Amino acid sequence: MEHASTMVFWTVLGDIVILLGAAALLGMLFERMGMSAIIGSLVAGVLVGPGIFNLIGTPAEMMERAAEIGVALLLFTIGLEMSRKRLLAFGLQGVKAGILQVSATMGASMLIIIAWGLDWRASIAVGAMVALSSTASVARVLTDRSELDSEHGRISMAVLIVQDLAIVPLMLVVSFLGERSEMTGLADQISGTAMGLVVFIGAFVLAGLLLLPRLFGSTARTGNHDLPVVLALVTCLLACWVAWRLGLSPALGAFVAGLVLADSPFAKQIRSDVVAFKAVFLTLFFASIGMLADIPWLLTGTNLLFVLGISMAIVVGKLIMTGAVVRMLGVSPRTSIGTGLSLAQIGEFSFVIGAVAVGNALISHDVFQVLTSASLITLLLVPFLAGRARDLSATLERVLLRIGLVRHAAVDPPNAEDLHGHVIVVGAGPAGQGVIRSLRERGLEPLVIELNPSTVQTLRTWDLRAILGNATRPDILLHAGVSSARAVIVTLPDTHTSVLVIEQVRNLAAHIQIIARARYNIHVGLLEDAGANMIVNEEDRVGDAMGVIAIEGLESTTSESP
């Protein structure tokens, strides 16, 4: 018995290594090709899974359960970034958008399925699958592009949170339709789940106020750097487990735990502590989703063409439906389109609802295969649609403006075409703010690229042009008009990040003047090799300043002596 369990353990571990290794290699390859690593992970799962090479013995469903830790960690870190103040910024508008999006998408899907010839029970199951989008994929893309705080990013996340809340009731409805239970039984289950959610949130809010800050403070005072990491993971996983025990979504539980800790002084440290674990488990999650693809079935007859047609219909339909719902709430056309692009896919939890529907004989195995295959194809499109939502929404808005469906175009922040001869400042910390003051004193209005949303808001209150984004990404630099800028000043304290920024700037604008900050002498060569024209060496400047102050102090002491 012991030998058998040992064999199972090492077999599963070997499968995880194969899956992660393939996902890492293909992720790097796709990144080199200018595409998202998420696509590489999904393709890796397809290749090593049962559909093609069949290198993995562990069932995809079992691997997916373990990999859901990655989704939980992602939602946990998003909750840490959100804070209650930012969550309130979503407001009632975001909640309304989520409820209307789920209801409208599900209703439209049900009507189409009934018209196709399936009964109303099957239409509810299919509608529930189509209504959900991918929290993991969209949140990952928005986070990577620093667009969580953009208008379409905020609304998209609000809708995704509502969808996560809706997963459990939808699951209960699909289970009820299969069991043909009494309606009172379904009502009791849903009310019990709602009560569990209230208990869970209340318990974690109390823990966040009374217990967790003391625990994190105690671990910080020990001086041991490992204990805070362990405590952060325990907090996240405990929230997942408690949520699961109460019949809720584990990922939603992790989000609530992160939200509770978001206003604590330890939020930034906790986020940095779990980021490596999040990357590993999230990669495993996307790869395990790819394993669900049934390639032999997909290549049989006209199945592939049919699935591609269904996939495109779902993307276009969800784009129109979500965009229309958000527009009804008074949001600008461009933001509505951007939100629709971000949510125009079938989510990974649709597989779970579909599996329940098949088990209860609500839908056939072929219908399930069509929808799961379509889901994988739409997930492959997430980096293109959600990742380029800002540019695509502007293009689609111009098309709608031309044909008369939109009356007025949205007013953009400064566009690359409108910028010329300006100075770009990367980073708005103390050093960056000093540079900004000096430039403004000489009549130059800089354009600032900053990764911290609160700092960007502060800069805008100073009537400064500021872009929220990661300056290591070429699309952010192009949006800042780097090709027509006069100079780029990199004020970041981290040398590795500065090198990445300088290399990107130099690739996009070969002749631009780049001024960079070096914290230590040993970093000067790295910055020069990356392409910086001028380097401000902190060690030299500090030494000069200290020498001047010391001489002034000695001279004043000498003059005062008798």
pLDDT tens profile 231-274: 888 888 888 888 888 877 787 788 888 888 877 777 767 777 77
73, amino acid identity = L
Q: With contact defined as beta carbons under 8 Å apart, do 254 and 72 qualify?
A: yes
- Picking from 76, 453, 450, 501, the residue whose alpha carbon sits closest to that of residue 275 is 76
pTM of the model: 0.67
- What's the pLDDT at 460? 78
91 Rama sector, left if φ>0, alpha if ψ -120 to 50, beta otherwise: left
416-559 CATH choice from 3.30.559.10, 3.40.50.720, 3.90.1280.20, 3.40.50.300: 3.40.50.720
372, amino acid identity = T
Q: With contact defined as beta carbons under 8 Å apart, do 282 and 68 qualify?
A: no
Question: How are strands ordered across the β-sheet holding 423-426?
Answer: 465-468, 447-450, 423-426, 487-490, 513-518, 534-537
Six token digits for residue 521:
């002498």
Q: Which residue has the tokens 């709430």?
A: 329
Distance between CA atoms of residues 462 and 425, nearest Å: 15
- What's the pLDDT at 147? 76
Kindly indicate the confidence band of residue 110, based on its pLDDT and cuts at 50, 70 and 90: very high
What percentage of the chain has pLDDT greater than the value 90?
A: 18
Lowest mean pLDDT among 11-15, 195-199, 471-475, 557-561: 557-561
Distance between CA atoms of residues 56 and 177, nearest Å: 34
What's the DSSP call for residue 252? H
Residue 89 has pLDDT above 60, yes or no: no
Distance between CA atoms of residues 191 and 311, nearest Å: 35
Phi, psi torsion values for 550, nearest 5 degrees: -65, -45
> Judging by DSSP bridges, how do beta strands 513-518 and 534-537 pair with one another?
parallel
- Picking from 254, 251, 229, 297, the residue whose alpha carbon sits closest to that of residue 46 is 297
Q: Give how far Cα 423 sits from Cα of 439, 449, 467, 497, 527, Å.
A: 9, 11, 13, 19, 19
49, amino acid identity = G
Kindly indicate the confidence band of residue 86, based on its pLDDT and cuts at 50, 70 and 90: low
Q: What is the secondary structure of 133-201 as a DSSP string?
A: --HHHHHHHHHHTT-TTSHHHHHHHHHHHHHHHHHHHHHHHHHHHHHT--HHHHHHHHHHHHHHHHHHH
Question: Which range has the top average pLDDT, 224-228, 405-409, 498-502?
Answer: 498-502
2-399 CATH choice from 1.20.1530.20, 1.10.287.110, 3.40.50.450, 1.10.357.10: 1.20.1530.20
Distance between CA atoms of residues 181 and 189, nearest Å: 11
Dihedral sign computed on CA atoms, order 456, 459, 460, 461: positive
Kindly indicate the confidence band of residue 153, based on its pLDDT and cuts at 50, 70 and 90: confident
Q: How many CB atoms neighbour CB 185 within 10 A?
A: 12
- What's the pLDDT at 317? 94
- What's the pLDDT at 107? 93
Kindly indicate the confidence band of residue 132, based on its pLDDT and cuts at 50, 70 and 90: very high
Residue 186 has pLDDT above 60, yes or no: no
Distance between CA atoms of residues 118 and 336, nearest Å: 32
What's the DSSP call for residue 442? T
Residue 190 has pLDDT above 80, yes or no: no
Distance between CA atoms of residues 489 and 505, nearest Å: 11
| Residue-range domain boundaries for the chain | 2-399, 416-559
- What's the pLDDT at 461? 80
Q: Give how far Cα 296 sits from Cα of 9, 311, 318, 342, Å.
A: 29, 18, 28, 30
Residues 6+ apart with CB under 8 A from 8: none
- pLDDT greater at residue 57 or residue 86: 57
Residues 6+ apart with CB under 8 A from 405: none
Distance between CA atoms of residues 325 and 320, nearest Å: 9
